[in-house]
Chains A and B, each alone.
Chain A
Amino acid sequence: MRRDIFQAIADPTRRAILSLLVLGAMTPNALAEHFDSTRQAVSKHLKILTECEVVTQKQTGREIHYHFNPEKMKEIDIWLERFRKLWEDRFDQLDSLLNDL
């Protein structure tokens, strides 16, 4: 299965998890308290977020904390820049066409 930043933010629960982790690292239990879904469901989302590399795990003693990885979010900016350029190029081509019509 595809694992990238878009996959990471495609699900509303995952977006909510990321919003919480932006504020500070959290354990899976602490995160689960914010959601109606089961601890297992939250774990599954954390697994996907980890595979998408938008969060990282750090072991502290017996506890695992999840950290937000801002570098990965930059990929959205890169994508937006490419998309902006696509439309810009398209419009420039239309300019030349309109000149000839």
Chain B
Amino acid sequence: MTNNFVFEPDMVAKKIHIVREFNAPIEKVWKAWTDPDLLEKWWSPKPFKAVTEIMDFTLGGTWKFAMVGPDGKKSWIYAEFTAIEHGKTISSAAGFCDDEGNPVVNGPKWYRTTTFAAIDGDRTRVDIVIPFDDEATLKSFAEGYFKEGTAMSYNQLDELLAAE
């Protein structure tokens, strides 16, 4: 079963477009994206775990979670929901915070809009758009996502460097 994964940086439109199809109905995919117990099982690449402290899935609400490393070290991240259309779209603005949820001053911020669509065969297509049109977002490229994807530094980076 093909999943039609697309990862497309568009340097002119200044955004990254990600597409993926899942072999499950939209209700299930939506649940996996919004239920903290389920998010914990997939959001963070192993060996990291995304442990939720607060999930207020409402407009203006916050998802506060920690990326917990194998050594138990926590990086706190908050994501504020800036748009929610139930079963269809989620937009969020995210950044690092301390364990009390205070955003890191002058810390990187990142944004994304995720759209869900039912496709043939009771499957689901997910579209994610990540803009990088401002200084804050570029900063997050270097600091934010690197950290969010820290798990990769253990495996994929090694592979990448080996392939250089």
Give the interface of A toward B (CB within 8 A): 2, 4, 6-7, 9-11, 78-91, 93-99, 101
Give the interface of B toward A (CB within 8 A): 3, 5, 7, 9, 16, 18, 20, 22-24, 28-29, 31-32, 38, 41-46, 128, 135, 138-139, 141-142, 145-146, 148-149, 151-152, 156-157, 160
Q: By DSSP majority rule, is chain A's interface helix, strand, loop, or mixed? A: helix
Known: A10-B138, A81-B160. A91 touches B3 (CB 8 A): yes
10 contacts between A and B (CB under 8 A): A6-B139, A9-B138, A86-B45, A86-B149, A87-B7, A89-B156, A93-B46, A98-B23, A98-B24, A101-B32
- Closest partner residue, chain B, to A84 (CB atom): B7
Q: Kindly identify which residue among A10, A85, A89, A98 contacts B32, using a CB–CB cutoff of 8 Å.
A: A98
Residues on A with C-beta less than 8 A from B42 are 90, 93-94, 96-97
Residues on A with C-beta less than 8 A from B128 are 87
Beta-carbon contact of B22 and A94 below 8 Å: yes
Residues on A with C-beta less than 8 A from B145 are 83, 86
Known: A98-B22, A98-B28. A89 touches B152 (CB 8 A): yes
Give Cα A97–Cα B3 distance, bound, in whole angstroms: 15
Beta-carbon contact of B29 and A85 below 8 Å: no
